[in-house]
Structure 1
């Protein structure tokens, strides 16, 4: 046989072998996920959005974890004690290393948690605000000291704000740290094409159960039908959220699995109370009365979730959502309130991001506001630009969702309405509301705490800082051969033990 022919046959054989190996293992060692939006940063204290929280959950660990039922489990702290109602003594694991090879010690815990109380942590202040300091007893023991008793604080250490960082890595990266994250989690950072995808790889020195896939690739696909098509054609292994239009297709596809759980969230239309005419409660109430929220929710979400009557979702303790009557539209009462407030020919913008359900809701709201003489323009923004614009107080009204990542009533409200919160985009500043929140945090679970949150929910409904639109469900689709993917009602879905079976 001639050398050229031998080489040709050898090349074909190698190609076949490589293709065969890829088809039986190599290609399947990458889990490809379609998320709705890209992360905004991978610095855990400089965001409070769900795509970034999901990225951080794969890269970092926290001192404690929450299971899907909200139970606190050991994380980087293997055990703890409560010396007083303002102190947590945490005993740290001794076998933990960062992705850069540095060993984790109490110094990293002190640095990470106290860093969250600086101006850098403005977005997550609702979680870190009661932290006083972290005292180091030895390399693997710390005491977390609080300013005041706070019965929502301990489980909040599971939120991405409590991610433990490596001080050396943060200081070396400087302002660019959010693009060069270093954690102790089951996946380590590889690359990130902003607005497109980020890639993580298994961290083989992980202290806990190792990730079951070699790589995790998370793509940003904002258009819902495109996400569903990518799932159907095998372009991705997991996609979320699956929206109303695509649920049936995913359910009926024998190669796919639909995951669906109640979400600890609320979708709302907020008012910018720092601007006229929204500083007048009569205007806010008039807009609320003008809207048929039950009809809007039914038309847009078609059998998914429900219309809330309270800011605290029914899946979170102390919610009074089930006790209150359904919202009712009253156009004449709305017109009368606007007349009392001396408001005529109002013009305003309704902001939303690209999520289809929110755009559809805004379209119906626009038509219903016209009935009471309000002309509105819908402004659709890309996710990052949307969040930036809200922080800059440029908006009038806006559609947004809030997920209680930590299932405590404090976090269902404080991040949205407390005057000091960096995610209070209604710019509500109300001393009585702040007082309720402080009292709720400082009261142990029981009848008294339940009473405080009941009064708080009723008070918020009198203030009308927002119109409640929707309590959502977490809905995801996956290939049938994906195992170990954990969908969660707090939207911090877990790929830590996800695998792809042949």
Structure 2
């Protein structure tokens, strides 16, 4: 520490994603004395410098914050925030309609989207989550060691139908790995049209007669939304002659086996922790990550690019190389099956002003500028 307001960080080697990584909450600078005094309870009794301070945490019920009068940038417009933990989506909707909630986060209550979207009396704020949904195909396992099998799956999926059927149309088909809105995102990727005839032809090239190809997709037992996706995918792939079995296992087993590189196929998502392509591409395909996530895609050219990008200071050159690696992974080697990017929707009461969805589409955001028009409430 140089002085009371300046911290110097020395890296052992150049690391281009570092400045973006500093923006994550884990890189916040904490009061050492207060944090060490509270020990393992420091997360439950935080000593921070934000516009609000914690006054109550009733676990699994509510969190109460109040404005920090001495906040360095001036006091927030809100006197406080109460965050309600309500598992049931219908109950959340009724609370909102009764005026008990000012903001209703629909990300955990997607079943309520049509109700609010189709009613002009409600104000919906949305932002595209800087993340992506995808399929992992394990190249160490048959039939995914055959590139035409992987390509067949890329073309056998009707992404628009998935979005409309499972997510009420609140998203767009994905074309690559990087999330829309992320630094380095490439809007010019061609994408994959739904083409079952092409999928069937690719299966034939892979050496499979209709109905001969059999796959197993894994998931955890505690995810009904994942099961709904897998059952829809199962029907789509059956239409092109691929038989899919859904295997459900407990979470501990799933992640342990995936970490050993032995899950054959699964559906998942990834959202940006920080605004840099490294957070996506290196996370999945750098170091030993292809095994720990069960992709088992070990292309040396791609791995070299990802290591090189960590050393380059020119952002435009980095983004160009990241896009080159992304194209090779998705289109040349069919090592990634892009699915879609989802929007994050909130219903906001008419008396709430200046509400903005965070840049990455997460539920965590700044409430500093929000105010309440008491004349409307």
TM over 0.5: yes
Q: Is 1:142 matched up with 2:3?
A: no
Aligned to 1:497: 369
Taking the aligned partners of 1:278 and 1:146, their CA distance within structure 2 comes to 43
Contact 2:156 2:194 in 1 (8 A): no
Q: Is 1:392 matched up with 2:256?
A: yes
Question: 161, 164, 181: which one pairs with 1:295?
Answer: 161
Aligned to 1:411: 279
Contact 1:310 1:468 in 2 (8 A): yes
**Cα distance, 1:338 vs. partner?**
6.9
1:81-120 counterparts in 2 under 5 A? none
**1:41-99 deviations in whole A, cap 9, x for unaligned?**
xxxxxxxxxxxxxxxxxxxxxxxxxxxxxxxxxxxxxxxxxxxxxxxxxxxxxxxxxxx
What is the Cα-based RMSD across aligned positions, in Å?
3.6
**Cα distance, 1:311 vs. partner?**
0.8
1:259-338 counterparts in 2 under 5 A? 259-271=125-137, 276-277=141-142, 280=145, 282=147, 284-329=150-195, 330-334=199-203, 336-337=205-206
Are residues 355 and 170 of structure 1, via their aligned partners in 2, closer, same or farther at CA, if it must alter by over 3 Å? farther
Q: Is 1:439 matched up with 2:305?
A: no
Taking the aligned partners of 1:389 and 1:185, their CA distance within structure 2 comes to 39
Q: Is 1:451 matched up with 2:317?
A: no
Taking the aligned partners of 1:379 and 1:238, their CA distance within structure 2 comes to 35
Contact 1:474 1:488 in 2 (8 A): no
Are residues 146 and 353 of structure 1, via their aligned partners in 2, closer, same or farther at CA, if it must alter by over 3 Å? farther
Contact 1:310 1:321 in 2 (8 A): no
**Cα distance, 1:184 vs. partner?**
2.0
**Cα distance, 1:302 vs. partner?**
4.3
1:162-201 counterparts in 2 under 5 A? 162-201=27-66
Aligned residue pairs, count: 358
**Cα distance, 1:310 vs. partner?**
0.8
Taking the aligned partners of 1:201 and 1:355, their CA distance within structure 2 comes to 36
Taking the aligned partners of 2:355 and 2:85, their CA distance within structure 1 comes to 19
Contact 2:131 2:180 in 1 (8 A): no
Contact 1:286 1:335 in 2 (8 A): no
**1:383-433 deviations in whole A, cap 9, x for unaligned?**
xxx5x6654235554333322243332223233443366996446563543
SS of the residue 2:184 aligns to = coil
Aligned to 2:354: 484
Taking the aligned partners of 1:420 and 1:187, their CA distance within structure 2 comes to 40
Contact 2:135 2:267 in 1 (8 A): yes
Provide structure 2 residue ranges, at least 5 long, that are not aligned to the other structure: none
Are residues 488 and 180 of structure 1, via their aligned partners in 2, closer, same or farther at CA, if it must alter by over 3 Å? same
Taking the aligned partners of 1:479 and 1:209, their CA distance within structure 2 comes to 25
Are residues 303 and 346 of structure 1, via their aligned partners in 2, closer, same or farther at CA, if it must alter by over 3 Å? closer
Provide structure 1 residue ranges, at least 5 long, that are not aligned to the other structure: 1-135
Are residues 137 and 355 of structure 1, via their aligned partners in 2, closer, same or farther at CA, if it must alter by over 3 Å? farther
Taking the aligned partners of 1:175 and 1:272, their CA distance within structure 2 comes to 39
